[in-house]
Structure 1
Amino acid sequence: MGLEDRINEEMVADPESFLESHFDEAARLFRIFQDGSIGLKDDFEDAPWRERILIHLIGRRYAFEGGKADTPTLPYDYFYSKADVDDSTVRKFMNGLNDDHIVEKDDESGEWKLVAESLPKALGRIEGLNG
């Protein structure tokens, strides 16, 4: 095995490895339906809006990787419907997640997606997940 192959095999992290290593934690948060939509599990239905948004972002990424969604991204208006605050507050929150490298905006669509490598950070922000 050459050095390039060894680096790619042993050092380069891919989205699947992050999703796989945190599968059990994520599975406690949501269900993925056949149409790719996300349903929060009972323990998280009444979570604060910020956490619900994170759960939907995580769920969408898993739905995409599982072949149930066409893209890993979600538009702003999707988040507006999940939060009980004004739209500018949601935009500020999303921009903060972007600054923290938890999400990124797709250049073409302008939609948001979870950065798979930041899944542990996102999970860490969800109350009750580790307790």
Structure 2
Amino acid sequence: MFLVGYNAGCVLFLVDVFLRSFVMSTIGERLRQLRKEKNINREDVANLLGVTVRSVTNYESGQRNLDPDQLIALADYYDVSMDYLTGRSDNPKPPQTTTIDDEWPEVANVLRRNGKKLTTEDKKRIATIIKAAVEDIDE
């Protein structure tokens, strides 16, 4: 193995440096790409973040780290997910999740039973009824 003779701390340091540089280059590349796609100049981004144009250049080149609030502001500004900005996803806008409150507020209110918790047995009975109703619709 090529790491023979290195202590564990040194190996962890090297892995940390590699991962940071990979993540930062990914963030920088994505920021530059988004800015260019939307035809936005660095000065506008600098004004949004309250930093200098040089800082924006450093973010895009991976030479400087953004703080979490700046990442959130940029994700909102470009209308992309944090996972996309940080390289965890290649999908800029993951599918929106909806809740039963969004889709069926009347059903959500019934299921809450005026604040009373549903037992496991109640949940099973409700699931059985819903499955049967859906099967009837399909027929």
* TM-score normalized by the length of structure 2: 0.32
Answer with 1 or 2: which has the greater Rg.
Answer: 2
Bigger share in strand: 1
Name which structure has the greater RCO, CA cutoff 8 Å, separation 6+. 1
Higher helix share: 2
